[in-house]
Amino acid sequence: QVQLVESGGGLVQAGGSLRLSCAASGSIFSIKAMCWYRQAPGKQRELVAAITSGGTTNYADSVKGRFTISRDNAKNTVYLQMNSLKPEDTAVYYCNALLYPSGFSTLREYWGQGTQVTVSS
């Protein structure tokens, strides 16, 4: 059983910062990549940022230069530092992991429960 638990969401004024965390726990052999997605009301879920086990990162154009994804491999935890937040960043943010569970030879995808980020103007 693998779980992803997110924390760090909340309400912040435009221009402010928030830091999201997501810890993966359970029977994990190795994690290939961890990502953050977001879904605003009435919109499709979109990829915000991703980081591989080797540290390669990828960002949506809308957050480049403002958001930073990082990872602590020893703790199976991924972070999303969000600076210069805008009202359009308001969404539910979901953690996603591609990993090999212990005893399995195929990659599996897991999702966290989501954490609300609200940016007021």
pLDDT digit string (tens) for 97-108?
A: 999 999 888 999
| C-alpha to C-alpha distance for 92 and 109, rounded to whole angstroms | 19
Count of positions (residues) in the chain: 121
pLDDT score, position 104: 84
Alpha helices in 1-121 (DSSP H): none
pLDDT at 105: 84
Instruction: List residues bridging with 106 in a β-sheet.
Output: none
- The number of angstroms, rounded, from the C-alpha of 42 to the middle of its chain's C-alpha atoms is 20
The per-residue pLDDT for 74 is 92
Q: Alpha-carbon distance 52 to 80, whole Å?
A: 14
Q: pLDDT below 70 — which residues of the chain?
A: none
